[in-house]
A and B are shown apart, each in its own frame.
Chain A
Amino acid sequence: MTTAAVFRSATAAPRAVTRATGESRVVRWLLISIALVFLALVLLLPLVLVFNQAFAKGLPAYWDAIVQPDALSAAKLTLLTAAIAVPANLLFGVAAAWCVTKFEFRGKSVLITLIDLPFAVSPVISGMIFVLLFGAQGWLGDWLFEHDIRIIFAVPGIVLATTFVTAPFVARELIPLMQEQGSEEEEAAIVLGASGWQTFFRVTLPNIKWGLLYGLILCNARAMGEFGAVSVVSGHIRGETNTLPLHVEILYNEYAFAASFAVASVLTLLALVTLALKTLVEKRMAS
Chain B
Amino acid sequence: MSIEVRNLRKAFGTFVALDDVNLDVPGGELVALLGPSGSGKTTLLRIIAGLEPADQGLIRFEGEDTTDRPVRERQVGFVFQHYALFRHMSVFENIAFGLRVRPRPVRPSDEEIRDTVMGLLRLVQLEALGQRRPSELSGGQRQRVALARALAVKPKVLLLDEPFGALDAKVRKELRRWLRRLHEEVHVTSVFVTHDQEEALEVSDRVVIMNEGRVEQSGTPEEVYERPATPFVYGFLGDVNLFHGRIDRGRVKVGASELDAPEWAEARDQAGVAYVRTYDVELTPSSSGRSSIETIVRHIRAFGPVIRLELDRVEDGGSVEAHLPRAQYDKLGLVKGQRVFVSPTSVRVFAGPADGSAARIA
Contact = CB atoms under 8 A, between A and B. Distances in A.
Interface of A: 184-185, 187-195, 198, 202-203, 206-207
Contact of B51 (A187, A203, A207): A187
Q: Which 4 A-B pairs have the closest CB atoms?
A: A192-B98, A184-B84, A194-B101, A188-B84
Contacts of A189: 86, 97, 101
A243 B50 CA distance: 53
Interface string B333-349: 00000000000000000
B346 to A, nearest CB: 45
A185, A191, A202, A203, most chain B CB atoms within 10 A: A191
A207 B87 contact: yes
Contacts of B153: 192-193
B290 to A, nearest CB: 58
B77 interface: yes
A123 B144 CA distance: 54
Contacts of B82: 184
B101 A184 contact: no
A204 to B, nearest CB: 10
Nearest to A207: B88
B129 interface: no
B97 A190 contact: no
B132 interface: no
Given A191-B71, A191-B72, A194-B72, A185 B87 contact: yes
B101 A198 contact: yes
Nearest to B155: A191
Given A187-B51, A190-B71, A190-B72, A195 B84 contact: no
A193 B84 contact: no
B88 A192 contact: no
A3 to B, nearest CB: 39
A174 to B, nearest CB: 16
B279 to A, nearest CB: 42
B101 A193 contact: yes
15 contacts: A184-B84, A185-B86, A185-B87, A187-B80, A189-B101, A191-B49, A191-B50, A191-B78, A191-B150, A192-B150, A192-B152, A193-B98, A194-B72, A194-B97, A202-B101
Nearest to A193: B72
A191 B73 CA distance: 8
A195 B88 contact: no
B76 interface: yes
A184 B80 contact: yes
Contacts of A206: 88
A187 B98 CA distance: 12
Nearest to B161: A184
Interface residues of B, number: 25
Interface string B64-93: 000000011110111010101111100000
Contacts of A191: 49-51, 71-72, 74, 76-78, 150
Interface string B100-113: 01100000000000
A203 B72 CA distance: 15
Given A187-B51, A207-B88, A193 B102 contact: yes
B82, B84, B150, most chain A CB atoms within 10 A: B84
Nearest to A188: B84
A185 B76 CA distance: 16
B156 interface: no
A226 to B, nearest CB: 34
A192 B87 contact: no
A247 to B, nearest CB: 43
A184, A190, A193, A203, most chain B CB atoms within 10 A: A193
Contacts of B85: 185, 188
B244 interface: no
Nearest to B152: A192
B149 interface: yes
Given A187-B84, A194-B98, A207-B88, 4 more contacts: A191-B50, A191-B72, A192-B97, A195-B101
Nearest to B74: A191
A110 to B, nearest CB: 19
Contacts of B51: 187, 190-191
Contacts of A195: 72, 101
Nearest to A203: B86
B101 A192 contact: yes
Nearest to A196: B72
A207 B86 CA distance: 9
Contacts of B80: 184, 187-188
Nearest to B80: A184
A194 to B, nearest CB: 4
A195 B98 CA distance: 11
A191 B51 CA distance: 8
Contacts of A185: 84-87
